[in-house]
Amino acid sequence: MARRCGRATSRFTNEIQKCPQKIAISAVWICLCLSFPSTVEAGLYTASDQVILLSRDTVGKVLVNSSAALVVEFYASWCGHCVAFSPVYRSLARDLKEWKPAVDLAAIDCSERVNLKVCSDYNIRGYPTVKFFRAYSKPGALGHIIKDLYPDTVWLRHNIIAQLESHGEPWPPACPPLEPTSQAELDSFFETNNVQHLALIFEEDGSYVGREVTLDLLQFENIAVRRVLSSEKGLVNKLGVTEFPSCYLYYPGGNITRLKVNIEARAFYSFALKRLPGVVRSGKPPPVTNGAPINRTVEPWRPFNKSRVYMADLESALHYSLRMELALHPVIRGEALTALKKYISVLVKYFPGRTVVMNLLRSVDTWLNQCGDEISYDELKEKLENTAESSNAALPDGVRWVGCQSSQPHLRRYPCGVWTLFHVLTVQAYNNESTDPLEVLTAMRSYVHNFFGCRLCAEHFENMAKESMSEVNTLSTAVLWLWSRHNRVNNRLAGALTEDPDFPKIQWPSPVMCPSCHTVRADGEHRWNKEQALRFLLSYFSPSSILTDYLESESQVLEIQKQKQIIRQQNLEAQKHERKIREAVDSIKPSQPAVQEEEEEEEEEEGPQDAVVADMGEEGGEAAEMEAKPTPWARPDVNIGPRRRRTGRPSIVGMKMREVPEDIVDLDSFVNEHYKAKALQMAAARVKQRSLQRKEEQEPGPVFRLGMELDAGLGMVGLQPVDANFEQRNRLHKRELTDGYFEEEAEMNRRGRWRMSVLSIGFSELDISLCVILYSLSCMCLLAMYLFFKNRLRLRRVKVASP
């Protein structure tokens, strides 16, 4: 023991650094296994369960030579005991979530035919069998059976600790030493360890608290945890410890202070220790404690109270959901339409919004209930923008996050707003004594399922809903269900990339926020006091405690809407005018090709805009309508392009200006990913469509084709000089489709500029100038050809005339 002790101490701090690659490799594997669950998801576990789902093909890669020890459940999905055991195993996985780098959980379904051989190779004779595999197991290692399997998380946890303790060399590098410490080790502790805090947990010999807290904190830097046995009399007497368990912070020179917790138990120690100054999750920047994070965003920081709900977040979530997320669905019908109706009707009933917002939601709700079995987003958008100008109704445009602010643009914000919104709705359904306890939850489920941009999140949420939502039978259990599932998500995401270091994912509310919500069982296991938690939730999310800071006043909101309306009208007028002119031009257009060439060229000389318009029109198969557009700069906003083409509706909502400087539209990275994929898909489809059309359009004549090619931005024949730029341009374009998709847009809005959107892509200034360059080049080309042909014609005429 003593031998292990000395070495293990340094092992704790050094070996993690020595083996980062191995840890990284196994982490990558775990991620891979979690992200491709489809092949094995038929079993008892899903990707949401934090259990590595093994199959014949992955078992070797995961088990052999892993830097973490592994606990593997071999089960058959038809076996009743396995089914009964699965919730225990799942909850064990949540419980041991922070231990993953040292010991991870996996499962394999032996009733899958392909897995049968694997299970037989591991000597499995009955189900469920749980085996412990040491770190760096060799191929062919059979693991140690955890005997007398008892379906209890505490029992299993203690067994796993026992297995870890008897783990020989090589020790899992991420696993801290688990044996009790001694005076001798403490004396030299700060000489050999570069940590800020040393937590000592004084406990009886049989207690597991010290080892559990040690493992709970293994992913955190600047802190080490050791257990001291009550039998270590020298130390106990010297420090005057009388209570077991109890936790003390030990500093160089022998300074010692007691850690203050509500209850002397594992959950409370772990929570308090993680929040000590300087203690950070490995690999995360330290949180900023003074409230305002370092200026990592371009937006001014709005100071807020972390234990309050803000209406600004709820309205921002509504804006984002209705104007951005739904906009990705040009046509809404069937199940999706039902989901939308349900969502809006729940909002109308329970959203504790301001009068203007409620009026708008009501008008949308009324309209939805009258419409047929299919709507286009354009129609919905007109309702959202209140183009019918019903009085005193508006949905504030743009986002203004307050409680959902983040230290970086890709964190928190919209998903945070969605959670907050639905918590508020469940609480309001409770307050209003809704007749259907599942009303809000089913609305949330179907909204998330059909529309929530983060598809993986939607899948996870659907898994949770399938598992237990049907058990909700009262309004209070609905509030508690959403709360506890949200905590499950928090548990899963703690330490993940989407965690904002300034807002760590915790089991919410913390013991600091709601001391009475937390309690322990006789054996020291943490338990929620559900009654107290419910009381807390009802008050926390109650409309009377929602703060209205940072909101524009209702009259301002209406005024902004009115301004937009005026702009829209003007735009419409301009379009009509333009169309008339165009029609007049069209009617006198002769059909001879030679003259047509000249016409085309004249149009080119008018300026580049028209060509863009023409291209847009042909692309969408609506040449006439599109040609009537005044300029491409007045193109409808991002989301209208593709929709319009498909639904073939006239453009009313043409231009859009958002002066609101706070209008930053951002997403969590995962949401982003989804939109990226969508945007790329859409762009790809469009390019495809375009190239098809280009082939069709090749007939009309050389000049026209040139124009097409130019517009397609695909630098082709006759445009060699552009070729070099094309690669770069393309890259820029792609960047915008991805990273810049929303930020770029926000950037332009913030400057209060007209937004130009073509093909549902926000164009940057660089793109625009490249466009202009391209067009100038094409004009020169055309001019050259025109002169060439004209010359030739003249020559021919001369020739014809001369004989």
Ligand X SMILES: *[C@@H]1O[C@H](CO)[C@@H](O)[C@H](O)[C@H]1NC(C)=O
Ligand Y SMILES: Cc1cc2nc3c(=O)[nH]c(=O)nc-3n(C[C@H](O)[C@H](O)[C@H](O)COP(=O)(O)OP(=O)(O)OC[C@H]3O[C@@H](n4cnc5c(N)ncnc54)[C@H](O)[C@@H]3O)c2cc1C
Q: How many CB atoms lie within 10 A of CB 735?
A: 13
By the 8 A CB rule, do 241 and 201 touch?
no
Is the Cβ of residue 157 or residue 423 nearer to ligand Y in the bound state?
423
Using CB under 6 A as the criterion, which residues of the chain lie in contact with ligand X when the complex forms?
22, 65, 292, 295, 298, 300-301, 305, 307-308
Query: DSSP assignment, residue 554?
Result: H
Which amino acid makes up residue 668? D
Residue 464 beta carbon to ligand Y: minimum distance, rounded to whole angstroms: 9
- As given in the structure block, the two tokens for residue 188 are 């030299």
By the 8 A CB rule, do 295 and 343 touch?
no
Q: 690: exposed, middle or buried (C-beta count within 10 Å: 0-12, 13-18, 19+)?
A: buried
Q: Is 110 a catalytic residue?
A: no
Alpha helices in 607-697 (DSSP H): 608-620, 623-627, 640-647, 669-697
User: In which residue are the tokens 């780098």 written?
Assistant: 101
The window from 74-82, 414-422, 641-649, 704-712 that contacts ligand Y (CB under 6 A) reads 414-422
How many residues comprise the chain?
A: 803
Write out the binding residues for ligand Y, residues 772-791 only, by CB under 6 A: none
Say whether residue 652 binds ligand Y (CB under 6 A).
Answer: no
- Give the integer Cα–Cα distance in Å for 412 and 390: 34
Residue 141 beta carbon to ligand X: minimum distance, rounded to whole angstroms: 11
Q: Which does 503 bind (CB under 5 to 8 A by kind): ligand Y, ligand X, none?
A: ligand Y
Element spanning 256, H or E: strand 255-258
Q: Is 771 a catalytic residue?
A: no
Catalytic residue chosen out of the listed positions 19, 31, 33, 79? 79
Strand blocks (E) in 49-186: 52-54, 69-75, 103-109, 129-133, 144-145
Write out the binding residues for ligand Y, residues 381-410 only, by CB under 6 A: 404
Q: Which does 305 bind (CB under 5 to 8 A by kind): ligand X, ligand Y, none?
A: ligand X
Question: Does 396 sit behind a cis peptide bond, omega within 30 degrees of 0 on the bond before it?
Answer: no
- Give the integer Cα–Cα distance in Å for 740 and 760: 13
Q: By rule CB under 6 A, what string of x and - marks binding of each residue 415-434 to ligand Y? A: xx-xxx--x-----------
| Contact residue for ligand Y among 132, 202, 220, 483 (CB under 6 A) | 483
- Give the integer Cα–Cα distance in Å for 18 and 263: 37
Is the Cβ of residue 80 or residue 300 nearer to ligand X in the bound state?
300
Which amino acid makes up residue 387? T
| Contact residue for ligand Y among 91, 137, 408, 498 (CB under 6 A) | 498
Q: By rule CB under 6 A, what string of x and - marks binding of each residue 500-519 to ligand Y? A: x--x----x-----------
| Contact residue for ligand Y among 88, 116, 358, 489 (CB under 6 A) | 489
SS3 call for 223:
strand
Is the Cβ of residue 666 or residue 736 nearer to ligand Y in the bound state?
666
- Give the integer Cα–Cα distance in Å for 567 and 350: 33
Catalytic residue chosen out of the listed positions 33, 82, 247, 781? 82
Residues whose CB is less than 8 angstroms from the CB of residue 25 and which lie 6 or more positions away in sequence, other chains included: 67
Residue 489 beta carbon to ligand Y: minimum distance, rounded to whole angstroms: 5
First to last CA, the chain: 116
Q: Which does 308 bind (CB under 5 to 8 A by kind): ligand Y, ligand X, none?
A: ligand X
Q: Which does 65 bind (CB under 5 to 8 A by kind): ligand Y, ligand X, none?
A: ligand X
Residue 792 beta carbon to ligand X: minimum distance, rounded to whole angstroms: 59
- Give the integer Cα–Cα distance in Å for 76 and 128: 7
Is the Cβ of residue 215 or residue 448 nearer to ligand Y in the bound state?
448
SS3 call for 795:
helix
DSSP string, 704-768: HHHHHHHHTT---TT-HHHHHHHHHHHHHHHHHHTTHHHHHHHHHHHTTPPPPEETTEEPPHHHH
Residue 460 beta carbon to ligand Y: minimum distance, rounded to whole angstroms: 4
- Give the integer Cα–Cα distance in Å for 140 and 680: 45
- Give the integer Cα–Cα distance in Å for 356 and 359: 5
Distance, C-alpha 410 to centroid of its chain: 8
By the 8 A CB rule, do 451 and 338 touch?
no
Residue 396 beta carbon to ligand Y: minimum distance, rounded to whole angstroms: 20
Q: Which does 12 bind (CB under 5 to 8 A by kind): ligand Y, ligand X, none?
A: none
Residue 538 beta carbon to ligand X: minimum distance, rounded to whole angstroms: 14
Residue 33 beta carbon to ligand Y: minimum distance, rounded to whole angstroms: 16
| Contact residue for ligand Y among 119, 368, 457, 613 (CB under 6 A) | 457
By the 8 A CB rule, do 626 and 611 touch?
no
- As given in the structure block, the two tokens for residue 446 are 């179907």
Q: Which does 412 bind (CB under 5 to 8 A by kind): ligand Y, ligand X, none?
A: ligand Y
Write out the binding residues for ligand Y, residues 659-688 only, by CB under 6 A: 668, 670
Say whether residue 487 binds ligand Y (CB under 6 A).
Answer: yes
Is the Cβ of residue 309 or residue 722 nearer to ligand X in the bound state?
309
- Give the integer Cα–Cα distance in Å for 274 and 270: 6
Q: Which does 461 bind (CB under 5 to 8 A by kind): ligand Y, ligand X, none?
A: ligand Y
The window from 486-494, 607-615, 703-711, 735-743 that contacts ligand Y (CB under 6 A) reads 486-494
Write out the binding residues for ligand Y, residues 112-151 only, by CB under 6 A: none
Is the Cβ of residue 25 or residue 779 nearer to ligand X in the bound state?
25
Is the Cβ of residue 324 or residue 626 nearer to ligand Y in the bound state?
324
| Contact residue for ligand Y among 97, 274, 341, 412 (CB under 6 A) | 412
Is the Cβ of residue 269 or residue 304 nearer to ligand X in the bound state?
304
Is the Cβ of residue 193 or residue 542 nearer to ligand X in the bound state?
542
Say whether residue 343 binds ligand Y (CB under 6 A).
Answer: no
Q: Which does 457 bind (CB under 5 to 8 A by kind): ligand X, ligand Y, none?
A: ligand Y
Q: How many CB atoms lie within 10 A of CB 537?
A: 23
The window from 227-235, 451-459, 518-526, 673-681 that contacts ligand Y (CB under 6 A) reads 451-459
SS3 call for 115:
helix
The window from 155-163, 367-375, 493-501, 745-753 that contacts ligand Y (CB under 6 A) reads 493-501
Q: Which does 487 bind (CB under 5 to 8 A by kind): ligand X, ligand Y, none?
A: ligand Y
Residue 525 beta carbon to ligand X: minimum distance, rounded to whole angstroms: 29
Residue 301 beta carbon to ligand X: minimum distance, rounded to whole angstroms: 4
Sheet holding 223-229, edge to edge: 223-229, 197-203, 246-251, 255-258
State the number of binding residues for ligand Y (CB under 6 A): 27
- Cβ-count burial 369-394 (b if 16+ within 10 Å, e if not): eeeeeebbbbbbbbbbbbbeeeeebb
Catalytic residues: 79, 82
Residues that bind ligand Y in the complex, under the rule CB under 6 A? 404, 412, 415-416, 418-420, 423, 448, 454, 456-457, 460-461, 483, 486-487, 489-490, 493, 496, 498, 500, 503, 508, 668, 670
